[in-house]
C-alpha cells in the first residue's frame, strides 16, 4: 500500500456524479471544471488531517492532482491546499 506524505491526500477519483434528483451520471472526459473523489489515505497515522478524514468526498480542480498506476490500480494524489470543498 502507498501512504501519502507531507500535505498530500490519496483520493479515489469519482467516475460518477449525482444529479440534484439523486441519479448517478457518468463523468465524461470532455467535462471541464471541478472533480470529486473519496479520500482513502491521509499522511501520518491520525484519522484526520486538517479537518479532512478518510472517507470524506472532496472537491478539487480538474488539474489539481497527480495520477499513479500501481499494481493495476490508479491512485490520485492531491495537496490538501488544492481541496476547495468537502461533501458531507
Q: Where are the domains of the chain?
A: 8-87
Q: Give the Cα separation of 18 and 24 in Å (integer).
A: 5
Which whole number is the average pLDDT over 7-29?
66
Residue 5 has pLDDT above 80, yes or no: yes
Q: How confident is the model at residue 75 (pLDDT cuts 50, 70, 90)?
A: confident
pLDDT at 32: 60
Residues 6+ apart with CB under 8 A from 42: 4, 9, 10, 48, 49, 52, 53, 54
Residues 6+ apart with CB under 8 A from 86: 51, 52, 56, 57, 58, 59
Q: How confident is the model at residue 21 (pLDDT cuts 50, 70, 90)?
A: low
Mean confidence (pLDDT) of the chain: 81
Instruction: Give 23-61 pLDDT, tens digit per residue.
Output: 555 555 555 678 888 999 998 887 788 889 999 999 998
Helices vs. strands in the chain: H and E counts, helices first: 0, 10
8-87 CATH: 2.30.33.40
Query: Cβ(85)–Cβ(56) under 8 Å?
Result: no
Q: Give the Cα separation of 17 and 33 in Å (integer).
A: 13
Amino acid at each position: 500500500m502507498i501512504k501519502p506524505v507531507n500535505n498530500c491526500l490519496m483520493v479515489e477519483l469519482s467516475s460518477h456524479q449525482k444529479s440534484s434528483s439523486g441519479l448517478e451520471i457518468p463523468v465524461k472526459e470532455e467535462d471541464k471544471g471541478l472533480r470529486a473523489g473519496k479520500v482513502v489515505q491521509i499522511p501520518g497515522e491520525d484519522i484526520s488531517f486538517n479537518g479532512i478524514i478518510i472517507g470524506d468526498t472532496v472537491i478539487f480542480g480538474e488539474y489539481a492532482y497527480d495520477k499513479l498506476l500501481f499494481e493495476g490500480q490508479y491512485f490520485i494524489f492531491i495537496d490538501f491546499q488544492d481541496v476547495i470543498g468537502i461533501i458531507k
